[in-house]
């Protein structure tokens, strides 16, 4: 049903919507102004105006506490190729179609194939776990899609595996 067809319908009695009248939803321009006002107030107060304490407590480390643990997974995709990752980090390569990944860390002296794992939401991924002793290596990989249209693609940006900084846990 197009928008012109909707305009021809009679007014709805419950809830009382009147054709051409307000629906009770936020108006985009008013919403943008409200966000700007919150931003100005946050900047002048030096803290986030509508900060939810329960969320901050969960995700921010508190004074005197150790910082939150860093994730050991880095996500690579065509829009965000990783120039480098820390050794002993997992690199996750997701795609929207089934694929096989051929990868190497020794300039193609050896290579391995990894079949993508399917998820319940139609995303496929391969996790490559790097080891601490692989620091200084260069990880390169090629994709082969397993569903039409078939594609073979070299990752144009090999990922260097680097030493973690001292004290990194």
- What residue has token string 């397993």? 146
**pTM for the whole structure:** 0.57
> Quick one: 130 exposed, middle or buried, by C-beta within 10 A (0-12, 13-18, 19+)?
buried
- Cα separations in angstroms, 109 against 83, 87, 169: 21, 20, 31
Of 75, 69, 85, 89, nearest in space to 131 by CA: 89
Residue-wise pLDDT for 159-169, tens only, equals 776 666 665 55
pLDDT in tens, 77-129: 888 888 888 888 999 999 988 999 999 888 888 989 999 999 999 999 999 99
């Amino acid at each position: 049903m197009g928008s012109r067809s909707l305009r021809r319908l009679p007014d709805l009695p419950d809830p009382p919507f009147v054709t051409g009248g307000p629906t009770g939803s936020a108006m985009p321009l008013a919403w943008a102004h409200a966000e700007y006002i919150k931003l100005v107030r946050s900047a002048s107060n030096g803290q986030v105006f509508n900060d939810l304490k329960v969320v901050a407590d969960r995700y921010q480390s508190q004074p005197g506490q150790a910082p939150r643990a860093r994730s050991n997974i880095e996500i690579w995709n065509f829009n965000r190729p990783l120039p480098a990752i820390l050794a002993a980090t997992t690199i996750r390569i997701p795609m929207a179609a089934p694929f096989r990944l051929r990868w190497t860390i020794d300039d193609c002296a050896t290579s391995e194939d990894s079949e993508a794992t399917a998820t319940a939401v139609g995303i496929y991924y391969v996790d490559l776990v790097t080891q601490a002793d692989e620091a200084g290596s260069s990880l390169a990989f090629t994709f082969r899609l397993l569903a039409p249209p078939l594609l073979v693609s070299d990752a144009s940006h090999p990922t260097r595996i680097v030493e973690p900084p001292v004290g990194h846990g």
